[in-house]
Structure 1
Amino acid sequence: MQLRIDTRPTHVAFLEGLNGEGKLAFAGPFLNAEGKPDGSLVVVEAPDLAAAQALSAADPYAKAGLFESVEIRQWNWTFNKPAAS
């Protein structure tokens, strides 16, 4: 738990950086029945699977070995997608 607490500022800064680069669509924790964080969802804009994998591997939480598992899948945002700027 302490490793997660210690790594959180760099994890958040990493996500803020992706957001500033226009690569982060949205992100946030899953919550268990008690309302405690239990996993997370991060949706990024990437040109291909390799780029998405590289972004995932660069996350400080990933580098610290804090993810039990990672699943990377292509997704077609069909409804309520924000208009391109």
Structure 2
Amino acid sequence: MTELGPHLLLHYDYVDDMAERRVPHREAHLAYLRRWRDDGRLLMAGAVGDPVHGGLLVLRGNDPAVAEELAAGDPYTDAGLIVSWRVEPWTVAV
């Protein structure tokens, strides 16, 4: 699969005061995402906003079930920090 696609965007919506509330769960969350990156399914991920209000993750492939699996297993989900998530196909042009 080339870098130009297909890809999925996984959008997270976070709880209020996420910057403070994520602290005890952050290392587990980052370790989880690194495993997904290391196995080639996750290209990049990061927090959105200042103050932080969401996350954006870019996954390889076009199977939404893979993104749902990532979100469902994220330690932030287990901790109740992700209010909702959605998956969208991303057509990379350049």
TM-score by length of 1: 0.76
Residue 66 (1) aligns with residue 81 (2): yes
Structure 1 residues 28-51: Cα deviation after superposition (integer angstroms, max 9, x where no partner): 11123xxx3221111112451112
Pairwise CA distance, 1:78: 2.0
Q: Distance in 2 between matches of 1:21 and 1:14?
A: 11
Distance 1:3 1:28 in 2: 16
Q: Which runs of 5+ in 2 are unaligned?
A: 1-17
Taking a change above 3 Å as real, the CA distance of residues 69 and 14 of structure 1, as seen in their structure-2 partners, is: same
Give the TM-score normalised by the residue count of structure 2: 0.70
Tell me, yes or no, if the aligned pair for 1:31 and 1:39 is still in contact at 8 Å. Answer: yes
Which structure carries more relative contact order (alpha carbon 8 Å, separation 6+)? 2
User: Considering only CA atoms, is the larger Rg found in Structure 1 or Structure 2?
Assistant: 1
Partner of 1:8: 26
Cα distance, 1:61–1:46 mapped onto 2, change above 3 Å:
farther
Report how many aligned residue pairs link the two structures. 76
Shift of 1:76: 1.6
Cα RMSD (Å) of the superposition?
A: 1.7
> Gaps spanning 5+ residues in structure 1: where?
80-85
Task: Give the Cα–Cα distance (whole angstroms) in 2 for the partners of residues 47 and 74 of structure 1.
Answer: 7
Q: Which residue of 2 aligns with 1:83?
A: none
Q: Which runs of 4+ in 1 moved over 4 A?
A: none
